[in-house]
Amino acid sequence: MGNVAAIIVAAGTGSRMGTQPVPKQFLEIAGVPILGHTLQKFEHSPAITQILLVTRPEDRVACERLIKASGAQKITALVEGGKERQDSVFNGLLHLNPETEIVLIHDAVRMFVTKEIITASIRDARKYGASVTAVPAKDTIKQVAPRTSEMDAGFVVKTLNRTELWQVQTPQTFQYDLICTIHQKARQLGFYGTDDAMLVEHFGHPVKIVYGSYRNIKITTPDDLLIAEAFLREEIGRKS
């Protein structure tokens, strides 16, 4: 499938998990750090030719130990993260092999990504330039007025059409030249998006939806950790 890289973004602090000073990506599930589980999914994907890990300087030693323990062979570099997630991704893009054709950008704490999702993401990014993993929203979503005072906070503006709403996940996958150009434009204009797909949308390029999985959760809170442990127990049970 050509020269395909994965950037794993592991530069967060995990404040919502409440486990500081231990970042959430280093919390263990079944004796393995969450980041270790995630790295193995990309290490074992035949479609991935190189992996680049973006992390905080203070977590570099822990990452090096984890990589050595995992026996991962595809990791080509550890890159220092930036102030914002977007800065971290840009740093990663700068350190990839310039002959990279496709790049997947993935959250370190989404350890349940599948081989099928990775393959479909690459296929659609190659065809359309950009793809984003997502699942249809299950719940009714309501738009709420911004909080400008105690009097007007918490009131519904309108109920959004759920059939048109999707919950975005990662990987978000792009043709390498395209996402590099988009990130450079965003930096020049000082524009920050909530994810990489938003940057691409902002500059007028279409983004193809790849059907993800409701199990492809981002482990962010203690409740997510419990769910992940249950998912992993079930996976182990099916293999035994």
pLDDT tens, position by position, 20-78 = 667 899 999 999 999 999 999 999 999 999 999 999 999 999 999 999 998 899 999 99
Q: For residue 151, name the pLDDT band (cuts at 50, 70, 90).
A: low
Measured CA to CA in angstroms, residue 72 lies from 8, 44, 67, 238 at distances of 13, 9, 6, 25
pTM above 0.95, yes or no: no
pLDDT tens, position by position, 92-135 = 999 999 999 999 999 999 999 999 999 999 999 999 999 999 99
What are the chain's domains? Answer: 4-239 (3.90.550.10)
Q: Is the pLDDT of residue 166 over 60?
A: yes
Measured CA to CA in angstroms, residue 232 lies from 83, 101, 138, 198, 203 at distances of 32, 33, 23, 31, 39
Are 41 and 35 within 8 A, CB to CB?
A: no
Distance CA 126, CA 129 (A): 6
**The residue type at 5:** A
Are 134 and 209 within 8 A, CB to CB?
A: yes
Q: Could you count the other beta carbons within 10 Å of the beta carbon of residue 195?
A: 18
Mean pLDDT over 161-184 rounds to: 97
Position 175 scores a pLDDT of 98
Position 12 scores a pLDDT of 74
Q: For residue 6, name the pLDDT band (cuts at 50, 70, 90).
A: very high
Measured CA to CA in angstroms, residue 82 lies from 12, 54, 55, 86, 89 at distances of 10, 9, 9, 8, 8
Counting residues of the chain whose pLDDT is more than 90, the rounded percentage is 84
Could you tell me the two tokens for 165? 């709403």
Position 145 scores a pLDDT of 82
Distance CA 14, CA 150 (A): 30
